[in-house]
């Protein structure tokens, strides 16, 4: 991985190719994810458990494989989410910074092109996200964590499932080099 954003990926047939995330995708995707999160649950309340900004952070982290880039993207998305919520700015920023950094560090070591890996990452990182978020709220703000085990587990599975087509779609938006 270099700073221009080019990444070496291994295709389904074992072919290696160099691809790059387009700059507009880096800008538009987080915005769409946040808009989805603030608008769609108004009509389909069940979708409020879908953490698209987290999945986008995760994708950019593992695709770019740059821990610094991942942390920056995570911080940016988290801070925007914080601005739209009723809590001090920085809570979701800290959580997503850690997620972005960890995802990028894992992206170097794992074959993140495999769908089972993507499902696991989506579900696992959602759980980590919720746990960190609840813990930070409790420790820094003294607020209740609001974590319910079963709904959180169900939401983690749902996020894992959604991660597969979302990552596939974002893969299609990459440009080959």
Return the number of the residue (21 or 95) whose C-beta is nearest another protein: 95
Annotate each residue in 24-53 with x if it binds another protein (CB under 8 A) or - if it does not, as one string: ----------xx-xxx-xxx-x--xx-x-x
C-beta closer to another protein: residue 1 or 171:
1
Query: How far apart are alpha carbons 98 and 66 in whole angstroms?
Result: 13
Assign 90 to helix, strand or coil: coil
Footprint of another protein on residues 65-104 (CB under 8 A)?
67-68, 71-72, 75, 79-86, 88-94, 97-98, 101
End-to-end CA distance of the chain: give it in Å, rounded. 14
Angle between helices 115-136 and 149-172 (to 10 degrees): 130
155 and 125 Cβ atoms separated by less than 8 Å: no
Contact 108, 68 (CB under 8 A): no
State how far the Cα of 95 lies from the Cα of 75, in Å rounded to an integer: 8
Identify which of residues 40 and 171 has a Cβ nearer to another protein in the complex: 40
Q: Does 135 bind another protein (CB under 8 A)?
A: no
Residues that bind another protein (CB under 8 A): 34-35, 37-39, 41-43, 45, 48-49, 51, 53, 67-68, 71-72, 75, 79-86, 88-94, 97-98, 101, 105, 129-130, 133, 140-141, 143-144, 146-148, 155
């Amino acid at each position: 991985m270099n700073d221009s954003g080019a990444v070496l990926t291994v295709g389904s047939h074992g072919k290696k190719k160099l691809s790059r995330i387009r700059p507009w995708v880096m800008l538009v995707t987080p915005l769409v994810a946040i808009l989805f999160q603030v608008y769609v649950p108004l009509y389909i309340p069940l979708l409020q458990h879908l953490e698209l900004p987290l999945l986008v952070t995760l994708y950019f982290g593992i695709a770019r494989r740059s821990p610094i880039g991942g942390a920056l993207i995570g911080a940016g998305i988290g801070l925007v989410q914080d601005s739209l919520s009723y809590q001090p700015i920085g809570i979701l920023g800290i959580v997503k910074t850690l997620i972005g950094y960890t995802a990028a560090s894992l992206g170097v070591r794992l074959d993140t092109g495999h769908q089972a890996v993507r499902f696991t990452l989506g579900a696992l990182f959602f759980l980590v996200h919720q746990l960190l978020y609840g813990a930070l709220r409790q420790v820094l703000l003294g607020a209740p964590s609001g974590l319910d085990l079963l709904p959180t587990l169900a939401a983690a599975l749902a996020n894992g499932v959604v991660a597969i087509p979302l990552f596939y779609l974002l893969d299609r938006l990459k440009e080959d080099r």
